[in-house]
């Protein structure tokens, strides 16, 4: 599993990002079948935007990050055995990064968590063979972000269709009642379902 973070994630806040990765790996390793190896990459390969900034409402940082994420996935494919499952777990603005990198990307699953949108109108618009999942916790403030997209001064502001809406077409799963920063809380419904997704146990994922 590769965790792709959202806004306000940097070296000064890396501790909380690492804690999310550790929680995921503990539950992933505990649930994996005997003899199945697991790994989690907490990827901080781009300059994340600030939550209170103009860059958080545009795709610029995501477009710059996408080639780096694609390169990481290619490296993982080179060093892992054929048939190894790879899942991108993309939080908040990180879902915009994953959307920009998605076309033709050799991953099995892409999960969009607390996403403001992807910049595409539908899951099919991501042009990937990966399964596309989406979830939003009941207490996540992103629910109140307008899902619009408009041209302004030569750039596009906003990210369009809500990924958990039927119009988008993702596989919407249960993330419980948590807030925007709670998707990887130990024992949470969201983390349990993310582990199932990462292990390819798609029939075990619970839905809203």
Burial of 119 (0-12, 13-18, 19+ CB in 10 A): buried
Rounded CA-CA distance 130/86 in Å is 10
Burial 22-46 (b: 16+ CB within 10 A, else e): ebbbebbeebeeeeeebebbbbbeb
Rounded CA-CA distance 50/114 in Å is 16
Q: Which pLDDT score is estimated for 51?
A: 62
Q: Which pLDDT score is estimated for 38?
A: 96
Rounded CA-CA distance 22/28 in Å is 10
Chain-centre distance of CA 181, in angstroms? 13
Distances (CA, A) of 204 to 66, 117, 173, 194: 30, 26, 11, 11
- Domain chopping of the chain, boundaries: 2-146+166-201
CATH number of 2-146+166-201: 3.40.50.1820
Query: Could you read off the pLDDT tens digit of each residue along the chain, which spans 208 residues?
Result: 999 998 878 888 889 999 999 999 999 999 999 999 999 999 999 988 766 556 566 778 889 999 999 999 999 999 999 999 999 999 999 999 999 999 999 999 999 999 999 988 899 999 999 999 999 999 998 887 766 555 544 555 567 799 999 999 999 999 999 999 999 999 999 999 999 999 999 999 999 7
How many of the other CB atoms lie within 10 Å of CB of 13? 13
Rounded CA-CA distance 43/10 in Å is 11
Distances (CA, A) of 75 to 68, 86, 94, 165, 182: 11, 12, 20, 33, 29
Q: Which pLDDT score is estimated for 153?
A: 44
């Amino acid at each position: 599993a590769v965790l792709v973070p959202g806004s306000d994630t940097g070296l000064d806040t890396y501790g909380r990002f690492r804690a999310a990765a550790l929680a995921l790996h503990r539950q992933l390793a505990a649930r994996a079948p005997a003899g199945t190896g697991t790994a989690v990459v907490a990827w901080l390969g781009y300059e994340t935007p600030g939550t209170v900034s103009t860059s958080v409402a545009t795709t610029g940082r995501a477009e710059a990050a996408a080639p780096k994420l694609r390169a990481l996935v290619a490296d993982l494919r080179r060093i892992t055995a054929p048939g190894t499952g790879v899942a991108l777990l993309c939080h908040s603005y990180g879902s915009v990064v994953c959307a920009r990198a998605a076309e033709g990307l050799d991953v099995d699953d892409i999960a969009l968590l607390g996403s403001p949108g992807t910049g595409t109108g539908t899951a099919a618009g991501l042009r990937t063979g990966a399964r596309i999942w989406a979830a939003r916790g009941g207490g996540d403030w992103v629910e109140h972000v307008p899902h619009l997209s408009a041209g302004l001064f030569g750039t596009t502001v906003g990210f369009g269709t809500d990924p958990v809406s039927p119009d988008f077409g993702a596989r919407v799963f249960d993330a419980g009642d948590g807030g925007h920063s709670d998707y990887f809380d130990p024992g949470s419904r969201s983390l349990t379902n993310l582990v199932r997704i990462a292990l390819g146990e798609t029939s075990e994922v619970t839905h809203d």
